[in-house]
Chains A and B, each alone.
Chain A
Amino acid sequence: MTTATPLLQLNHLQKRFGKFEALKDIDFAIYPGEVFGFIGPNGAGKSTTIRVLLGILKASGGSATIFGQDVWQHSVAIHRRIAYVPGDVYLWPNLSGGEIIDLFLKLNGERHSAKTDALIKEFGLDPRKKARTYSKGNRQKVALIAAFSTNADFYIFDEPTSGLDPLNEQTFQAHVLALKQAGKSVLLSSHILSEVEKMCDRIGIIREGQIVETGTLAEMRHLTRTTIDVQTVQPLSALTTLPGVHGLTAKHGDNHVSFAVDADQLTTVMQYLTRQQLVTLTSTPPTLEDLFMRYYAAPNDARTPDGK
């Protein structure tokens, strides 16, 4: 995949608001046909990055290109080939949902099609209601329907499902997977980990305006620790001295402990444990939750020992 030219390329992107550095160093690329998960805690700079990508904010430093064109200079040309759903959808209160969907389509040179009607049905939206009376979820549906019925090359979703019910969330996921199969690229910013796990090929984690990690989920799993619960015949006194062992805690019973071990030290540790003659052993692979919590919580280095 890395052989293709990237569809989106960010190089040391920076954005300052006065003295506040919202984006310090954003660096990642998205390739054609890829669903890229963009995750990070609230206020980390996800939406700011997306707004720079859309030419709504002007970058203070670095470069950002989509389809090889600068996002600020050529925003109109780029926008012809993208579809976008913001996290908070605000709609003109006195227009109906149906009118707004059609307007968004027309603004991108498209028309209301059979696909649009199908989407309206599928998401269960009443297009005749005035936007003023829509709930958050319904407003999001309006934006989603417009985006999915646009024939774009690149789709940007900024926390698109935060107001949707589980049924609509599934509809959303099905449509994103369909886009992926059709060879489209997607940037999906989300807090819903199951969503990210199900759909994303690669993930970028942002914290405090910096990308702290990018890669596939498998690669990222590798970066974290497996939790081990073990009981042995012989005492485990040397365990603390082994590298890569964290948060050792004694459990009920003789020679029964639990601890976390770094992925790259797993073999050494397992060899030591076997030598002490195993009674029981359970190993728990890192969950996505663990993975994200680590990046979300720790202030500086994502992999500092945190007792887990």
Chain B
Amino acid sequence: MVGQLLRLNLKRDRNKLLIWIVTLVGLFTAIAAKFDGIYGTQTAIDTIVKTLKMPAMVSLFGAFTAKAPYTTAKIFATEMVVFMALIMIIMNIMLAVAGTRGEEDEGLLELVRAHAVGRQVPLVATTIELTGLNLVVGVLFGVGLQLAGMPGADTTGNWLIGAGLAAIGWMFGMLTLLLAQVADSASGATMLSYAVFGVMYVARMSTDVSQPKLTWWVPFGWIEKLNIYQANEWQPVFMMLLFGLVCLNLAMYFNQRRDLGAGLLVTRQGRAKASPVLMGPTTLLWRQSRGTLLAWVIGNALLGMSYASIFNTIGDLAKSNPTIKQLLGAAALAAANRVIVKNFIAVLAIVMVVVALIPAVQTMLKLVHDENKGYLHQVYATATSRWHVWASYTGFALVEALVVFLAGCLGMYAMGRSAMKDPINWITYQHVLLAYLPAMFVMVAAASLLVGWWPKGRYLAWAGVFYGFFSLYLGNLIDLPKWAKQLTPLGFVNKVPIKAIDWSTNWWLLGLTVLILVLASWGYRRRDLAQ
């Protein structure tokens, strides 16, 4: 039974799995192979070690635990593990939700369960699929590292990275399976999973910066405790497996007891009549997405706040070098400190931008999703034009990008004010906003263009967001060439607030946005809608 269902699921997910495996393993191996070229010399290594020890970097990549003598492999382990873990977790959350709640929402699970299939069989099939996937990716990571042969790498460490990443992915997969039992729909399960993940990410960040020992209390932080290419500790891997196993057992316990289509959270009754506000496509979209939007706004604001809470630690040169104050004088020192914080803000801006792009692109693709699901079918039979619906979704997506990004900046600003002796002015954040918004709009517009002309290829929009994140988060560290960074509109943005806003870039990006949007609306109005 499990075997048959598993085969069916694998057939259904074949492309998705293949894309994930190829992208992840390809990316990982390519970077590993290139690493010797970037950090091959001792000088290069020593410079990057200094950078990685800075609290700003620690907040992004985890505490720097490597000990001298530093090698290329140790740098690789520090830079890559947290980043890859992030992506492994996102992959597992997506697949775990789709395999459980997703199937249930579509009513497919009902069909399956009507046959002589046990209550637990679909859950077990998804569990096996996730386990297999993480295993394959983990093994390929190990093989990739073996082939890359970085200086300073050892076989145990190579396999430990693979095992650790596989284990953390699997652990979050199992956690998602559990949360899928709690929520009552796929979107609810996704939101809940990312919320838990977000809390863990922020928690590990703040403990890493202040008290690395406390990171042991955060399951996501275990990935930083492997001590790769040094002590090579396997204990965290076992902890992750154990945690995952507990989640799986709880998931199965709840799955055994609940009704199909219901969760532990009970579906509430709705209104008998629509509120006067609900009157057209825009308000309909608002009515559906306001909860998600609010979650993203709060999430990004909290992220901004937690980053800003360490501004003081980062921006205090005197702490690490007491003599510097005499050397520079108080005023010059304050200025130097501010430059460091601004540098950090420039890096954080990228994280905020990508976080803001996720709900925006989601809304844009929802236009196709709602069409495919048939929700828009009846709307189009009313006196509502295609242009109106398209403009509602596109406009909503653009505003979402703006609002979520703004929330992140406000969070940084508010926390920065209370955390710093010499806080950064709002104008700095305003510059960050103005510098990135046009590039973000181009990305949302591109998603709209896909929706209008090539709805089947709409997931390319995610590839765009992912690439933007990858090239800006890691681009400098892995020495990505300029042309490769400029494959995404985000790559054209100056390093604001360190540098001034480049208005000519802003204007042509805005012009490009308008042009793409005109094309997109034209395409959406002339094409057949889904059956």
**Cβ A58 vs Cβ B274 within 8 A:** no
On whether A107 and B383 interact (CB within 8 A), knowing A112-B273, A127-B273, the answer reads yes
A33-63 CB mask vs B (1 if < 8 Å, else 0) is 0000000000000011001001111100000
For chain B, the bracket of interface size reads 35 or more
- Distance (whole angstroms) from the CB of B265 to the closest CB of chain A: 13
Residues of A within 8 A of B431 (CB): none
Tell me which of A76, A91, A112 contacts B384 (CB under 8 A).
A76
B500-531 CB mask vs A (1 if < 8 Å, else 0) is 00000000000000000000000000111101
Assembly CA distance A80 to B381 (angstroms): 9
Query: CB of B7 within 8 A of chain A?
Result: no
**Cβ B267 vs Cβ A133 within 8 A:** yes
Assembly CA distance A98 to B378 (angstroms): 15
- Distance (whole angstroms) from the CB of A125 to the closest CB of chain B: 10
Query: CB of A308 within 8 A of chain B?
Result: no
On whether A129 and B383 interact (CB within 8 A), knowing A58-B528, A103-B284, the answer reads no
Residues of A within 8 A of B459 (CB): none
- Distance (whole angstroms) from the CB of A155 to the closest CB of chain B: 11
Query: CB of A300 within 8 A of chain B?
Result: no
On whether A90 and B287 interact (CB within 8 A), knowing A102-B274, A130-B270, the answer reads no
Beta-carbon contacts under 8 Å, A186-219 to B: none
Shortest Cβ distance from A56 into B: residue: B529
On whether A99 and B279 interact (CB within 8 A), knowing A56-B528, A57-B528, the answer reads no
Main secondary structure of the interface of B (DSSP, over half): loop
Residues of A within 8 A of B527 (CB): 58
**Cβ A128 vs Cβ B380 within 8 A:** no
A108-141 CB mask vs B (1 if < 8 Å, else 0) is 1100100000000000000111101100000000
**Cβ B379 vs Cβ A107 within 8 A:** yes
Query: CB of A93 within 8 A of chain B?
Result: yes
On whether A102 and B528 interact (CB within 8 A), knowing A54-B380, A92-B375, the answer reads no
On whether A132 and B267 interact (CB within 8 A), knowing A54-B381, A107-B379, the answer reads yes
For chain A, the bracket of interface size reads 35 or more
- Distance (whole angstroms) from the CB of B392 to the closest CB of chain A: 12
- Distance (whole angstroms) from the CB of A273 to the closest CB of chain B: 52
Beta-carbon contacts under 8 Å, B368-412 to A: 370, 373-375, 377-385
On whether A93 and B105 interact (CB within 8 A), knowing A58-B528, A99-B273, the answer reads yes
Shortest Cβ distance from A91 into B: residue: B375
On whether A107 and B384 interact (CB within 8 A), knowing A56-B529, A57-B528, A84-B378, the answer reads yes
**Cβ A109 vs Cβ B383 within 8 A:** yes
Main secondary structure of the interface of A (DSSP, over half): mixed
**Cβ B531 vs Cβ A51 within 8 A:** yes
Assembly CA distance A127 to B271 (angstroms): 8
**Cβ A79 vs Cβ B273 within 8 A:** no
Tell me which of B267, B274, B377 contacts A86 (CB under 8 A).
B377
Residues of B within 8 A of A92 (CB): 284, 288, 370, 375
Query: CB of B320 within 8 A of chain A?
Result: no
Residues of B within 8 A of A57 (CB): 528-529
On whether A82 and B381 interact (CB within 8 A), knowing A94-B288, A130-B267, the answer reads yes
**Cβ A98 vs Cβ B270 within 8 A:** yes
Shortest Cβ distance from A17 into B: residue: B528
Which of A97, A103, A104, A112 gathers most chain B CB within 10 Å?
A: A103
Assembly CA distance A101 to B272 (angstroms): 10
Query: CB of B47 within 8 A of chain A?
Result: no
**Cβ B529 vs Cβ A99 within 8 A:** no
Query: CB of B152 within 8 A of chain A?
Result: no
On whether A128 and B382 interact (CB within 8 A), knowing A51-B531, A106-B279, the answer reads no
Assembly CA distance A79 to B184 (angstroms): 36
Query: CB of B294 within 8 A of chain A?
Result: no
B182-204 CB mask vs A (1 if < 8 Å, else 0) is 00110000000000000000000
On whether A99 and B378 interact (CB within 8 A), knowing A93-B185, A132-B267, the answer reads no
Assembly CA distance A84 to B529 (angstroms): 17
Residues of B within 8 A of A51 (CB): 529, 531
Residues of A within 8 A of B385 (CB): 75-76
Residues of B within 8 A of A89 (CB): 374, 378
Shortest Cβ distance from A142 into B: residue: B378
On whether A143 and B378 interact (CB within 8 A), knowing A98-B274, A106-B280, A128-B272, the answer reads yes
Assembly CA distance A55 to B270 (angstroms): 32
Could you list 14 A-B pairs, sorted by A, with CB under 8 Å? Answer: A86-B378, A89-B378, A91-B375, A92-B284, A97-B270, A98-B273, A98-B274, A106-B280, A107-B279, A107-B384, A112-B273, A127-B273, A132-B261, A133-B261
